[in-house]
Amino acid sequence: MICNVCGTKEASIHLTEIVNGKMAEVHICEACAEEKGTEFKTYFNFGDLLTGVPGLEKAFGKSGKKTVLVCKDCGMNYEDFAKNGRLGCAGCYASFQKPLATLIKQVQRSDYHVGKKPARIPKDTRSIHDQRQLQERLRKSIQVEAFEEAARLRDEIKQAEDKIKKGKRSKGE
């Protein structure tokens, strides 16, 4: 899609809004979005997205217990994160580690990132990510008793592990 503002560049930001029952779409390139400033950056509230996730009350500590988690670095409490969907500082990740892990697992359906990965990711990081995905597929194959597929995946994981070990040995020499 072409940018609705400049009409020349490829749009990378796509906004959809429904007003009075009518849907309006806007497609904008990165340059035009930067030129417009924070108008587009604050348009989407992560906290609003999280309110629809089932079982989120447990992750945000609303299960009846009133334990208030507070970041020792910036003083932000976990309920503030629940409201606005943004952490205050890097220390918040350590302070809210357990509830964030629960939340991430619920949203991602995994303990680790399972989505897209950047094109310029280091090879060792890419191979670890790929290996985790293979292991997850192996686990699912075993669950549904697709043993031929599981054996193929097992062999593929073994080859990937051997390749990683071989690469580490050649770097260490």
List the CATH number of the domain containing 3: 3.30.60
Asked if residue 71 belongs to a domain, the reply is yes
Q: Say if residues 164 and 122 touch (Cβ distance below 8 Å).
A: no
Residue 116 domain-assigned (yes or no): no
- Structural domain of 131: 123-172
Are 60 and 37 within one domain?
no
In a domain, 113, yes or no: no
Residue 3 domain-assigned? yes
156 is a domain residue: yes
pLDDT value, residue 148: 93
The pLDDT of residue 24? 75
CA angle 136, 139, 142 (to 5 degrees): 150
Could you read off the pLDDT tens digit of each residue along the chain, which spans 173 residues? 888 888 888 888 877 777 677 777 878 888 887 777 645 544 445 555 555 444 445 544 444 455 688 999 999 988 888 777 788 898 988 888 888 888 777 776 666 666 666 677 777 677 777 888 888 889 999 999 999 999 999 999 898 888 777 776 666 55
The answer to whether residue 140 sits within a structural domain is yes
Rounded to an integer, what distance in angstroms lies between the CA atom of residue 156 and that of residue 173?
A: 26
Q: From CA 61, how far away is CA 81, in angstroms rounded?
A: 11
Give residue 171's pLDDT: 61
Residue 115: its pLDDT value, please? 65
Residue 117 placed within a domain: no
Q: Is 165 part of any domain? A: yes
Whether residue 33 is found in the same domain as residue 68: no
Residue 120 main-chain phi, psi, to 5 deg? -100, 40
| Axis crossing angle, helix 147-172 with helix 123-143, rounded to the nearest 10 | 160
| Predicted local confidence at residue 154, as pLDDT | 93
